[in-house]
A and B are shown apart, each in its own frame.
Chain A
Amino acid sequence: MEQFFTSSEQVQNIIKGFNLTKTLFVSSIIIGEPNIGKKSLARYLFPKAPLVSGENQEEVEKLLQEVDELIITDFEKLSNQESLNLDNKRIIATANYMGNQQTIDNLFAFIYTLPSLKERPDDTKHIRDLFIKEAESTLMLTENDFSIADIPINLSNNSKTLKKTIYTYLMKYSMDDKDIQEAIYNYILQNLNGNNEYKEHLGLYEKPLIEAGLKKYGSQLQLSQVLGINRNTLRKKIHEHRID
């Protein structure tokens, strides 16, 4: 069975409420931001219930006639909410927002609000660790290749941006020189236009070169020797690329 990890008291109370009413014929709705685990939670609690998206109105109406246990995701997308009859059925709906409060109030016995990932730091850490493990194995990296603490956390679109940020970050550690060249190739192919493009794109090479060099060797004097260029040239380039 799929697991649903949470250490948030609020979410644990939601699970408790669902577990208590599991055998009863009541309608419940979980409302919360996109990509915070509403559907996973419904699936985890009712693994055998048929699942339908509110995008598919006809299918929802058909299933409501046929079954007495149903998960309806994207409930906010249904345009005929008022005409639905959810009595004497076990309905678990999920929605990204409430929509018409009066309608939701009339339709559902239990209205739960699932907190976003920002409000669940422990859960976020757990999900982040899962994503990192997954990315590590997909990209064939080991933990020695990078530092977990340096991976930025982006929760602007909850788990979606959290995952994207991890993959984008770790991808950089899995690249060899050929991958880097290909990445630059694709970038230049899309962005090359104008009349001073040689100089414009030189930063793609010079900026990371100098930044990494300064971090590794500390002084400009030493770096100019390593790079085999004049100290004044190096200083000029640092100024050009606005490197502190």
Chain B
Amino acid sequence: MNIESIDFQSFLDWDNSPFILFNNQSKILYLNNSAEILFGYVSKKELYDLALAYAPPSFGHKTTTLSLNYDSFTFYAITVGYENEEQISIRFYNTPRVKPATAIERDKLVNTNINLLLEANIALFKTKNTNSLQLLADHDLPSFKIDQNGFSKLLRKTLDAFRSSDSIRITLKLLVGEHVIISGKKKAIVQLAIEANGRYSDTDEEIKSLAMQSHISSLLKENSIKLEIPLIQ
């Protein structure tokens, strides 16, 4: 069979690992779907510079193991390759997500409008703090199954970390094109991001553990906390 007649592009398009092909002027010649999402979090220049830095000394392909982190993306290795002077490619290897040890307790999950829980937690926050707070929520999000009590505790702790922060921005949105596998099924992801000029980190461990119990992945940074919630229906 002549494999040259096979069009490989769609396989690459839907590869879960980001793949980018640059020309020697750092212009993007091709990128797959997963790389498109990655560009939401990192600049073209940064990735091009990375490709140059890890390029093999002469024509060919080189895989380097390194730990890379862009927002919720974590990679454990990259392969950089070039076969001529005009094009250079870079491919990122996703670090496998740690599977939560606890199974989802289905009987605790109740169909919920997440905006209600968020608004109620903001009201609770406002009884204790006077900081200015900006909320950008997607009110078209469908209701989905949440352990309401557990999730509320997580929200309370998360907001509490911003108790003396200024200009708190809260955004709630559906992460387009990103999914998580739960019990063998692909689920969309809702992201709740809280950002400010700074925050307390005294309860970070509790936040992580509460998030894990609810199968939510938590990203805790110096100025922000992001919760990625599986949309289970």
Contact = CB atoms under 8 A, between A and B. Distances in A.
A105 B157 CA distance: 10
Contacts, number: 69
Interface string A76-92: 00000000001110000
A16 interface: yes
B148 A13 contact: no
A23 B148 CA distance: 11
A113 B149 CA distance: 19
B123 A13 contact: yes
Main secondary structure of the interface of A (DSSP, over half): mixed
B110 interface: yes
Interface stretch (A24-32, A172-180, A185-193, A232-240): A24-32
Given A25-B148, A26-B148, A88 B110 contact: yes
Q: How big is chain B's contact interface, by range? A: 20 to 34
A26 B150 CA distance: 9
Contact of A21 (B107, B116, B153): B116
A21 B123 CA distance: 11
A110 B108 contact: no
A24 B126 contact: no
Given A86-B149, A88-B149, A109-B153, A25 B124 contact: no
Contacts of B126: 13
Given A86-B149, A87-B108, A13 B124 contact: yes
A78 to B, nearest CB: 18
B110 A111 contact: no
Interface string B74-116: 0000000000000000000000000000000001101010001
- Which 3 residue pairs are nearest across A and B when measured between Cβ atoms? A109-B152, A17-B123, A20-B120
9 contacts: A17-B121, A17-B127, A20-B119, A24-B112, A87-B149, A109-B150, A109-B153, A109-B156, A112-B127
